[in-house]
């Protein structure tokens, strides 16, 4: 299986459990790897034959930018469901990083892997 990826996608959103976090947008950093078979696109040299990563990024900017989840775990699950459903990828690995959430730690977050349900 081939992988199409987006790395260091930065999106401002409401995320967190504390009162101040419910009022101020914070930046989450998304890294995503999506399973794909790129052979048809490689042969045709046509964007219609592949997973268009620009469309994925635009959808994530819209969805995450409007979301107001409390937990990064919830955000990760919902984003995974969205990509699996809307873009029909067979598998993905998603990292959600909420930098600065813990004093003295640069990166903190979750990494999940999900696939299509049989």
Catalytic residues: 98
Q: How far is residue 118's CA from residue 12's CA, in Å, rounded to a whole number?
A: 34
Q: Residue 24 gets which letter from DSSP?
A: S
For the sheet with 91-97, list strands across it: 2-13, 26-36, 91-97, 109-115
Distance CA(29)–CA(58), nearest Å, equals 14
């Amino acid at each position: 299986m081939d992988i199409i990826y987006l790395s260091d996608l930065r999106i401002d959103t409401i995320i967190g459990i504390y009162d101040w976090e419910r009022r101020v947008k914070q930046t989450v950093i998304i890294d995503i790897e999506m399973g794909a078979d790129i052979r048809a696109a490689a042969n045709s040299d046509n964007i219609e034959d592949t997973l268009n990563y620009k469309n994925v990024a635009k959808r994530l900017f819209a969805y995450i930018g409007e979301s107001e989840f409390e937990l990064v775990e919830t955000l990760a699950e919902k984003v995974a469901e969205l990509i699996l459903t809307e873009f029909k990828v067979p598998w993905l690995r998603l990292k959600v990083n909420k930098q600065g959430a813990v004093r003295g730690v640069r990166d903190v977050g979750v990494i999940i892997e999900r696939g299509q349900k049989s």
